[in-house]
């Protein structure tokens, strides 16, 4: 074959190969709303392609370490699904709410995979995902306690997790009590069982597990609904990431996945009706379940 013809053929093949590689790298013309729709997008994360998240050591069943130290829980399952749909990886580090919020604000984390009540004060420094729960503050006491009202805790030592919504509740409603800030709910309960506290303020999503761990030893004295729904905190600068995250969270709520996760981790706690206005699709799912069961 003529050498000039050979050169033209080789040159042509090179152009074709380069074109194929370019199309492959760009992802072709696939559906932009597919389960990996966020793949390749720059969300402004600390590490491109990876969500740097934080959890606490005692936030069951939202997120807490298993025996190997690996975080497990509803938020872990939820974030695994959402991160995959966004084409991202997610890693976790352990912190406390007290340390995690300022670290999130300063850019050390992308988000806190912690169930936090989205209070107006917190919204000044961090953003929040769409709500994932609406809880109740529960004042837990020893089973022999006769306390039934807030006034019954006048002069009593009442513990609550540091920088938690329960601590905010205690500061606002238990002004005549001696408030004790504890690092975690678990520590608070341990101090209560040891007789160093008269009561602990816990979130309703944690109480069931506490009672299971200490059967017959503790009970609820007072319960009051929280004033705002709960969600996960996100660095305020990550507006594009938050919008994409909420889009996938909405999809999982609409298709029934979120309700299944909730029922898996809270089998004895009905889905809060206060959430129905936020998630009307879940309201329809719950109503359908009740109709089927009746």
What is the DSSP code string of 188-238? Answer: HHHHHHTTS-SEEEEEHHHHHHHHHHSTTTEEEEEEEE-SS-EEEEE-TT-
Structure tokens at 229: 């729904």
- Give just the sign of the alpha carbon dihedral 22, 24, 25, 26: positive
What's residue 205's pLDDT? 87
The SS3 call for residue 128 is strand
pLDDT value, residue 167: 95
pLDDT of residue 189: 97
What is the three-class DSSP state of 115?
strand
The pair of three-digit structure tokens given for residue 292, joined into one six-digit string: 């089927």
Q: What is the pLDDT of residue 39?
A: 53
Q: Kindly report whether the global pTM for this prediction surpasses the value 0.85.
A: no
pLDDT tens for the 294 residues of the chain, in order: 444 444 443 444 343 333 333 323 333 333 334 344 445 588 999 999 999 999 998 788 999 889 898 999 999 999 999 999 999 999 999 999 989 999 999 999 999 999 999 999 999 999 999 999 999 999 999 999 999 999 999 999 999 999 888 999 999 999 999 999 999 888 999 999 999 999 999 999 889 889 999 999 999 999 998 999 999 999 999 999 999 999 999 999 999 999 999 999 999 889 999 999 999 999 999 999 999 998
Is the omega angle on the peptide bond into residue 254 within 30 degrees of 0, that is, cis?
A: no
* Residue 292 host element (H or E): helix 280-293
Cα 139 to Cα 207: distance, rounded to the nearest angstrom: 10
> For residue 41, which phi and psi values (nearest 5 degrees)?
-80, 145
Bridge partners of 47? 50
Instruction: Give me the DSSP letters along 165-188.
Output: HHHHHHHHH-TTSEEEEESSHHHH
């Amino acid at each position: 074959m003529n050498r000039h013809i050979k050169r033209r053929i080789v040159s042509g093949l090179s152009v074709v190969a380069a074109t194929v590689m370019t199309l492959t790298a760009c992802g072709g013309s696939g559906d932009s709303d597919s389960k990996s729709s966020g793949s390749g997008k720059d969300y402004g994360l600390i590490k491109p392609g990876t969500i740097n998240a934080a959890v606490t050591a005692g936030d069951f069943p939202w997120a807490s370490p298993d025996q190997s130290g690996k975080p497990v829980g509803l938020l872990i399952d939820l974030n695994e699904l959402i991160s995959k749909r966004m084409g991202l990886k997610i890693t976790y580090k352990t912190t406390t709410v007290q340390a995690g919020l300022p670290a999130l604000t300063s850019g050390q984390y992308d988000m806190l995979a912690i169930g936090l009540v989205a209070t107006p004060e917190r919204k000044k420094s961090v953003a929040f995902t769409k709500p994932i729960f609406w809880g109740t503050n529960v004042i837990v006491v020893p089973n022999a306690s006769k306390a039934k009202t807030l006034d019954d805790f006048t002069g009593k030592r009442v513990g609550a997790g540091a920088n938690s919504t329960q601590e905010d509740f205690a500061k606002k409603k238990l002004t005549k009590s001696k408030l004790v800030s504890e690092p975690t709910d678990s520590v608070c309960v341990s101090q209560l069982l040891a007789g160093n506290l008269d009561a602990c303020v816990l979130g309703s999503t944690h109480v069931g597990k506490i009672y299971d761990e200490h059967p017959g030893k503790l009970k609820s004295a007072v319960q009051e609904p929280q004033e705002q729904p709960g969600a996960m905190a996100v660095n305020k600068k990550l507006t594009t990431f938050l919008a994409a995250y909420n889009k996938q969270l909405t999809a999982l709520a609409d298709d029934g996945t979120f309700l299944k996760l909730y029922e898996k981790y809270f089998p004895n706690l009905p889905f809060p009706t206060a959430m129905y206005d936020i998630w009307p699709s879940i309201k329809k799912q719950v109503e359908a379940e009740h109709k089927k069961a009746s």
